[in-house]
Copies of this chain bind each other. A is one copy, B any other.
């Protein structure tokens, strides 16, 4: 089995997801700056995985602070946090993880023992990693109860072990259902432009011997209309207080198509993805990425030179299209303002 992310003495080790599925390469990122760049470059991606990786990046940065001056120590710590916060704007787990690291930092800073402080920060990052796997398993078990015994499940992007510290959110629900004996057939959208579905979800499920059929994003509607999809399950990068869901570009279209075809549309995400400070999806910042991701596949150009490109990495699915939100603490349904507040409390 693969490891999406790992804390080692040499630094944070990441499975380079840009090279999958053709190469399984692990790379060491030895400084917090390198970890930040890896998140920006999508060596690692997926909201929960970004959160845990950022926590490890902070732990790594703190470990390498060499000063006895408390003020300088705090200044350096804040610079580390700011650097990691500036990597990707949409996934709220990143900011949640940074806040959690700050809390542990300040709780331990007051003792004045920097060695103990460094240890506490490292322990917190490792605990977040372990918690993430555990809560994905709980979420999976809860979510599996929503699936029929025989189900053809459509998923988008990668909300799997590669998007988390392990097991996965949307794919965690699928894994749990398979472990419980359900007979599943997964349809995986390839997820342009970064191809997380073709490269990552297909790879993960193939490794687990869960039956998967790869389709292009624009085929999903056709299969829904043809009665070949029983439900849709996706992950999330940020869920607003009213239940609007920011997730990988294309999610909104799937949700509309699911509703039009009376197919349940489920979102699986840990409560760390709930952002109750953001009232609705309209306030969620949408990352715009380089046009090169659209015009090229690796080095191969697939569009005319100099063409204008738009590349929003995420979209927002209004809550009215969401049948249920599966978290590790329970399943939320409409009205989400209420149900999500209860889960987060």
Contact = CB atoms under 8 A, between A and B. Distances in A.
Contacts of A300: 297-298, 300
Contacts of A212: 307-308
A73 interface: no
A283 to B, nearest CB: 14
A295 interface: yes
Interface string A296-334: 011011111111111110011000000000000000000
A193 interface: yes
Nearest to A213: B308
A310 B309 CA distance: 28
Given A198-B295, A294-B190, A310-B213, A253 B218 contact: yes
B195 A302 contact: yes
A217 to B, nearest CB: 4
State the copy count for this chain.
Answer: 2
Interface residues of A, number: 54
A249 interface: yes
Contacts of A297: 297, 300, 302
A221 B250 contact: yes
A253 B258 CA distance: 10
B190 A190 contact: no
Contacts of A193: 216
Q: Give the top 4 A-B pairs by smallest Cβ distance, nearest first.
A: A218-B250, A221-B253, A192-B216, A222-B315
Given A195-B302, A221-B253, A222-B312, 16 more contacts: A21-B301, A190-B192, A190-B294, A190-B302, A198-B303, A199-B303, A203-B304, A206-B307, A212-B307, A212-B308, A213-B309, A215-B294, A218-B250, A222-B315, A253-B257, A256-B260
